Amino acid sequence: MQELRVGRIFSCATNAQQCIDVVSRNEMYFAVLPLVHPRARREFSGRTERSEPFTRSDLTLPSNIWSSNVIGSLSPWLNFDSPCHKVRMDSEQALKQEMAWAHHISCPAVIAPPPGRSCNNYARCLYSQIAASGGTSIYVHMPLTWKDDPDSDKDPWETWNSVRMLCEHHFCLFVALEVTSDLPTDETLTQWLCEPVKLLILPTSIFLTNTSGFPVLSKRHQNFLRSFFWYNVEVAVSGRPRHEGGLLVYSQYLQHLFSSRTPLSDSERFEQPYWDFLQIPLQPLADNLESQTYEVFEKDPVKYVNYEQAVYLALIDLQANFGFRQDPFIVMVVGAGRGPLVRASLRASERANIAIFVYALDKNPNAVVTLRNMRVTENWADRVEVVQSDMRDFSPPVKADILVSELLGSFGDNELSPECLDGAQRFLRPDTGISIPVSYTSWIAPISSSKLHQEVKAYNDVKHFETTYVVKMHTHKVLSDAQECWTFSHPNREVPIDNSRQSRHRFQVKRSSCLHGFAGYFDALLYADVHISIYPETFSTGMFSWFPLFFPIRTPMFVGKGEEIELQLSRCVGDKKVWYEWAVVAPSVGPVNNVNGRSFSIGL
Amino acid sequence: MQELRVGRIFSCATNAQQCIDVVSRNEMYFAVLPLVHPRARREFSGRTERSEPFTRSDLTLPSNIWSSNVIGSLSPWLNFDSPCHKVRMDSEQALKQEMAWAHHISCPAVIAPPPGRSCNNYARCLYSQIAASGGTSIYVHMPLTWKDDPDSDKDPWETWNSVRMLCEHHFCLFVALEVTSDLPTDETLTQWLCEPVKLLILPTSIFLTNTSGFPVLSKRHQNFLRSFFWYNVEVAVSGRPRHEGGLLVYSQYLQHLFSSRTPLSDSERFEQPYWDFLQIPLQPLADNLESQTYEVFEKDPVKYVNYEQAVYLALIDLQANFGFRQDPFIVMVVGAGRGPLVRASLRASERANIAIFVYALDKNPNAVVTLRNMRVTENWADRVEVVQSDMRDFSPPVKADILVSELLGSFGDNELSPECLDGAQRFLRPDTGISIPVSYTSWIAPISSSKLHQEVKAYNDVKHFETTYVVKMHTHKVLSDAQECWTFSHPNREVPIDNSRQSRHRFQVKRSSCLHGFAGYFDALLYADVHISIYPETFSTGMFSWFPLFFPIRTPMFVGKGEEIELQLSRCVGDKKVWYEWAVVAPSVGPVNNVNGRSFSIGL
């Protein structure tokens, strides 16, 4: 999105074409128009049939304008939670009539008036419409703070949360967030970033005036808007213009603000197409990667630099231990792919001025073609031996001094690095052999993301809720700092080796939230002090090879302020597969997910 | 079940055949035998393979004895929630081994040692087994009070509830409830009646000694056992015999206690085959009932007596109003079926000595055959006219003084009595016409019943969780007094008539519970002070024509002590159908169930 879509909210629109003219004259993109005149309060329980139309004709605008440049607004008098049965019933009938009309004129979305503190029937009526309708979205108008009672204990987010829980996180339900002049705490503001906010409503009354007389927003308001600009949001101005230049100066200011949003870094630009896109983790033992996949990951600007540094430090230490040695040090790269770790090792050797001989091992016959070609083109013949073999079957002619691998998944061990390296460590010199990585630790944090929940729910089965996904989480919020799960170290001299793990976590949550699952990360120690990490606290800036792992839960769980989320996590190892089981046990007890790896596992 | 199945718990059973001999010598039915010697603590993480067997041979008993007269018990040392990883892993492996062995010897169930206060991994390991196994049931050994800490805040039921929530209410998971000498409150005791308790464990130490030296239980213990005897429970004696006569006197005492259980009343005997059996409510407008169905309901000993009394009182009142009238009063029976209301009306007429003429209307051509035959055989020719017609189409030659119907469903209006009577009231004299029933009120109460939840869950779809069921609730607990929902009155002179209804309820819950849904009832005023009711407070004793209506919820909800359950209930009326929507909004917000009647509705 190169331009912000700015719109104008009309509280009354007797002449729709005039409104559209106003919009385009002020460099705006869309108009929010009442579907029915706001004072046209209809009664449905009477038997009298009125002959006059309940609203203006659809012919007042061409179809393509209705469908592209108009958002409808529902009547402001609708009151679904009135104590009076008749008011509730008339509201429900009017809603039905207006939604049917919106559908008829191909209006893609409507804005519903703000729910009251009591919102149960409001939610029911909305759900009834989106469940039945032909895909017309409903934006729930939510203010950032309650106007009548800004210090209310239950903040607007909680009301919104009740509405969407009653509507089962329906994918046609969104928020039109009204930015108020009083802003709540930053904590509250960021909470809205993980919600499906489609529209920001900006009343003209929240704008200040700069020295030149133009409308500007306060710094906090600016920052809040800027943070939203990467979330595909539109903006609409409400209220009468209060600055010279009319509406135009508002839309120009907002475009200016949009163009000054923080640009994406290189790695963010790389990641952007993957935002909130669920990927099933690789099954590296079962599948062969494609060349394109290798190519993407080889471009990581951090990973192989760090690997090179790790090999470099390991070689220095080895030489310090051994003193002078006639033979070169043996480096075995297991899972060499198209050679990036071979290259990194050779660079380290040159930099340290310590000779090495590399065995480059891969089970993928296609990758081996590349490696064997490189051996020729890059003059590796005397320094590199290419072997096509599964590392579980290979019998090397010599023992290795360094075993280099990159078998880590987003959660560290989730692509079976422990099992692979346990098998490969027999290549290593028993006393002095070094594994790079030396160890890796898994981390986990609770998150809120209705977006990811909806993505999983769309599959409409339990299986997909019991699967973990690699995903660049964008529309989400981490509810509490990540905690350490477990660590694997290599070589592993335990007898017998037990790679099953269990961890229990208690996360404090700062404010009322909706739990949708957990994000998994890893931090790997390559060697000495060289790490690669996607755990947020130690994140290797610029590295883009790994996105976090998402552990969903089936039923989103409300977590009250000050309550704890308690998680039990297990890495289970069977004869033929490895899998995770996870269960939330607080604030309420959920089911054990993926018991026996029934829905998702990684084959051994 | 004419006899109580009593068993013996052996904490050690080196010779299985000897145990079986003890059991039969003491007039018992089954033995609980350790699957593996309780001190045979095995290690699985070592590599050494032991050559000796881990347990006695299956050949020590014939297959039919293993499968019919033995319950296995798992090793007492299993500790799934130990802080030590190795203990947890060994426990999990041992569990797997013992469950496989139980399956191998066709042992239908095993008893798991009591969970600790921390039970999350305990539940995970059990779930893993029941999800994978060939149907071997697991009974979780739960004491009524914690021995070490009887005053603990979190009572054993809460631990059990966590276990079964983690195991998703699996149908192979049961409770073996150990009756302790200290009994908790009655409230706690009755809570166990709605749980899947398969076995009561009675330690000999809880028995007292009567004046003849025989073992007896305290009155409270007796009552507790008696209340369980209608829940298909078995009983097992543990501990060494403490009375002369050895084990035999215990089993004889228990049989005696069983035979002295409160016998079932007539209506209970009628209902027993329907206990906890889900029935889809009738669609009376769409379906024709079968003769057999009519026959069952005609046997109700209360309903038609009350109808007769209502007609009797109505006739008396009419005559008082009209004074002497030449013509008989016109009674129209809409939905006459095989004639019980015609009969009741004629009886009332004779008793009051007031002449009537009856129009017996039914849309079912098969029922009309019966009615026309009756007209001959019962000499009704001058008093009864039989009309085959849908009451929506019928044009009667005269107006009725009394309109008698029995269109009520379990929840009152749920078989569309309001809509039918609104249509039929045009037969009625506009000023003095009387509808029997005059009005009816719907009532609702929150209930806990893992049994009913499992029955619905077995369908494995959302649709069945959004359906209401007629069910004689047996294994259940009403968590709070029923509350009134709404009332319909007839004739209904409103213009226009609106039969949609909404109600909101807040139920106080006395102790921690698991909410599985709601029970719906009705109370109908037939005429004057004559009611028929299945609402517990005013229940028409002996009436068996209606079982309550069950509104399930998808995700069972834990309700803490003192917390409130909040429910929103709607009766929705569309052009072609009527349906209910229900949503729990506290203690946590669930989805709106059956929105738009998408899963279940009653056709108009």
* pLDDT above 80 (res A248): yes
pLDDT category at B45 given cuts 50, 70, 90 is low
Q: Does any CB of chain A come closer than 8 Å to the CB of residue B500?
A: yes
Q: Does any CB of chain B come closer than 8 Å to the CB of residue A589?
A: yes
How much is the pTM?
0.93
- Please tell me whether residues A251 and A311 are part of one structural domain: no
* pLDDT above 60 (res B47): no
Ranges A19-23, A195-199, B320-324, B592-596: which has the least confidence:
B320-324
Q: What is the mean pLDDT of chain B?
A: 92
Tell me if A390 is assigned to a ligand binding site: yes
- Please tell me whether residues A168 and A38 are part of one structural domain: yes
Verify whether the Cβ–Cβ distance B127 to A166 is below 8 Å: no
Domain span at residue B317 reads 291-406
The per-residue b/e assignment along A492-517, b for 16 or more CB within 10 angstroms, e otherwise, is beeeeeebbbbebbebebebbbbbbb
pLDDT digits (tens, 9 = 90+) for B158-176: 999 999 999 999 999 999 9
Residue A518 burial (10 A CB sphere; 0-12, 13-18, 19+): buried
Is B268 domain-assigned?
A: no
pLDDT at A129: 95
Angle, vertex CA B298, rays to CA B296 and CA B299, nearest 5 = 70
Give me the phi and psi of B77, to 5 degrees please.
Answer: -85, -5
Indicate which residue of A406, A419, A466, A581 is catalytic: A406
Is B111 domain-assigned?
A: yes
| B595 chain-A contacts, CB cut-off 8 A | 124, 127-128, 131
Ranges A141-150, A210-219, B357-366: which has the least confidence:
A141-150
Q: Does any CB of chain B come closer than 8 Å to the CB of residue A87?
A: no
pLDDT category at B269 given cuts 50, 70, 90 is confident
Indicate which residue of B158, B195, B234, B406 is catalytic: B406
* pLDDT above 80 (res B153): no
**Residue B595: which of A131, A570, A598 has the nearest Cβ?**
A131
pLDDT digits (tens, 9 = 90+) for A341-375: 999 999 999 999 999 999 999 999 888 999 999 99
CB atoms within 10 A of CB A425: 19
Which residues are CB-neighbours of A84 under 8 A, at least 6 positions away?
none
pLDDT digits (tens, 9 = 90+) for B228-255: 999 999 999 999 999 999 999 999 999 9
Residue of A nearest to B47 (CA): A496
H-type alpha helices, A492-535: none
- Chain B, window 97-136: residues with a beta carbon less than 8 angstroms from a chain A beta carbon: 120-121, 123-124, 127-128, 131-132
- Please tell me whether residues B384 and B484 are part of one structural domain: no
Total domains in chain A come to 3
Q: How far apart are CA B281 and CA B579, in angstroms?
A: 12
How far does the CA of residue A89 sit from the closest CA of chain B (Å)?
Answer: 8
- Please tell me whether residues B254 and B299 are part of one structural domain: no
The per-residue b/e assignment along B230-255, b for 16 or more CB within 10 angstroms, e otherwise, is bbebbbbbbeebebeeebebbbbbbb
| A557 chain-B contacts, CB cut-off 8 A | 588
Rg (CA), chain B: 30
Verify whether the Cβ–Cβ distance B583 to A500 is below 8 Å: no
Residue of A nearest to B170 (CA): A591
- Please tell me whether residues A385 and A462 are part of one structural domain: no
Residues placed in the known binding site of B for S-adenosyl-L-methionine: 294, 303-304, 390-391
Verify whether the Cβ–Cβ distance B589 to A166 is below 8 Å: yes
**Residue B45: which of A45, A162, A496 has the nearest Cβ?**
A496
| Region class of B574: left (phi > 0), else alpha (psi between -120 and 50), else beta | beta
Q: How far apart are CA B542 and CA B397, in angstroms?
A: 39
Ranges A568-572, B113-117, B288-292, B303-307: which has the least confidence:
B288-292
Q: What is the percent of chain B with per-residue pLDDT over 70, rounded to a whole number? A: 98
pLDDT category at B81 given cuts 50, 70, 90 is very high
- Please tell me whether residues B474 and B586 are part of one structural domain: yes
* pLDDT above 70 (res B105): yes
How far does the CA of residue A443 sit from the closest CA of chain B (Å)?
Answer: 19
How far does the CA of residue A47 sit from the closest CA of chain B (Å)?
Answer: 7
Is A273 domain-assigned?
A: no
Q: Does any CB of chain A come closer than 8 Å to the CB of residue B592?
A: yes
- Chain B, window 298-317: residues with a beta carbon less than 8 angstroms from a chain A beta carbon: none
Is B304 domain-assigned?
A: yes
**Residue A558: which of B132, B568, B589 has the nearest Cβ?**
B589
Residue B443 burial (10 A CB sphere; 0-12, 13-18, 19+): buried
* pLDDT above 90 (res B477): yes
How far does the CA of residue A543 sit from the closest CA of chain B (Å)?
Answer: 34
* pLDDT above 60 (res B297): yes
Q: How far apart are CA B200 and CA B228, in angstroms?
A: 9
pLDDT digits (tens, 9 = 90+) for B532-591: 999 999 999 999 999 999 999 999 999 998 899 999 999 999 999 999 999 999 999 999
pLDDT at B55: 79
pLDDT at B150: 57
| Segment holding A571, helix H or strand E | strand A564-573
pLDDT category at A444 given cuts 50, 70, 90 is very high
A406 is catalytic: yes
How far does the CA of residue B17 sit from the closest CA of chain A (Å)?
Answer: 36
Q: Does any CB of chain B come closer than 8 Å to the CB of residue A503?
A: no
Residue of A nearest to B84 (CA): A502
**Residue B498: which of A89, A568, A588 has the nearest Cβ?**
A89
* Strand, coil or helix: A88: helix
pLDDT at B295: 85
- Please tell me whether residues A457 and A574 are part of one structural domain: yes
Verify whether the Cβ–Cβ distance B592 to A166 is below 8 Å: yes
pLDDT digits (tens, 9 = 90+) for B93-103: 999 999 999 99
How far does the CA of residue B50 sit from the closest CA of chain A (Å)?
Answer: 16
Q: How far apart are CA A228 and CA A232, in angstroms?
A: 8
Contacts across the A-B interface (CB distance below 8 Å)? 112
Report CA dihedral (B219, B224, B228, B229) to the nearest 10 degrees: 0
Q: Which residue did the predictor score with more confidence, B63 or A556?
A: A556
Q: What is the percent of chain A with per-residue pLDDT over 90, rounded to a whole number? A: 78
Domain end position, chosen among B406, B427, B460:
B406
* pLDDT above 60 (res A1): no
Is A411 domain-assigned?
A: no
CATH number where A519 lies? 2.70.160.11
- Please tell me whether residues A385 and A468 are part of one structural domain: no
Angle, vertex CA B313, rays to CA B309 and CA B317, nearest 5 = 170
Verify whether the Cβ–Cβ distance B568 to A504 is below 8 Å: no
- Please tell me whether residues B516 and B388 are part of one structural domain: no
pLDDT at B23: 95
- Mean pLDDT, residues A23-52: 80
pLDDT category at A42 given cuts 50, 70, 90 is confident
**Residue A596: which of B88, B132, B583 has the nearest Cβ?**
B132
pLDDT at A60: 82
pLDDT at B236: 98
| A132 chain-B contacts, CB cut-off 8 A | 596
A44, A122, A129, B362, B495 from B577: Cα distances, Å:
19, 22, 17, 21, 20
Verify whether the Cβ–Cβ distance B166 to A583 is below 8 Å: yes
| A166 chain-B contacts, CB cut-off 8 A | 583, 585, 589-592
- Mean pLDDT, residues A258-282: 88
* pLDDT above 60 (res B60): yes
pLDDT at A58: 75
Supply A571's token pair. Answer: 């890495």
ipTM of the complex: 0.90
Verify whether the Cβ–Cβ distance A583 to B47 is below 8 Å: no
- Please tell me whether residues B474 and B554 are part of one structural domain: yes
| B597 chain-A contacts, CB cut-off 8 A | none
pLDDT category at A553 given cuts 50, 70, 90 is very high
- Mean pLDDT, residues B476-491: 97
Q: Does any CB of chain A come closer than 8 Å to the CB of residue B568?
A: yes
Q: What is the mean pLDDT of chain A?
A: 92
| B557 chain-A contacts, CB cut-off 8 A | 588
Verify whether the Cβ–Cβ distance A166 to B496 is below 8 Å: no
- Chain A, window 149-168: residues with a beta carbon less than 8 angstroms from a chain B beta carbon: 161-162, 165-168
Which residues are CB-neighbours of A71 under 8 A, at least 6 positions away?
A7, A30, A31, A32, A33, A107, A108, A109, A110, A111, A139, A199, A236
Q: How far apart are CA A441 and CA A421, in angstroms?
A: 15
Is A466 domain-assigned?
A: yes
**Residue B592: which of A124, A161, A598 has the nearest Cβ?**
A124
- Mean pLDDT, residues B119-138: 92
- Please tell me whether residues A118 and A241 are part of one structural domain: yes
Q: Does any CB of chain A come closer than 8 Å to the CB of residue B514?
A: no
Is B326 domain-assigned?
A: yes
| Nearest-10 crossing angle of helices A156-166, A186-193 | 30
Verify whether the Cβ–Cβ distance B165 to A120 is below 8 Å: no
Residue A84 burial (10 A CB sphere; 0-12, 13-18, 19+): exposed
Give me the phi and psi of B46, to 5 degrees please.
Answer: -80, 160
How far does the CA of residue A45 sit from the closest CA of chain B (Å)?
Answer: 7
Interface with chain A: mutation pick from B124, B158, B494, B571, highest number of A CBs within 10 Å: B124
Is A544 domain-assigned?
A: yes
Ranges A39-48, B327-336, B500-509: which has the least confidence:
A39-48
- Mean pLDDT, residues A261-277: 89
**Residue B589: which of A165, A496, A589 has the nearest Cβ?**
A165
pLDDT at A47: 46
Q: Are strands B384-388 and B564-573 parallel, antiparallel or unpaired?
A: unpaired
- Please tell me whether residues A153 and A38 are part of one structural domain: yes
CATH number where A329 lies? 3.40.50.150
Q: Does any CB of chain B come closer than 8 Å to the CB of residue A573?
A: no
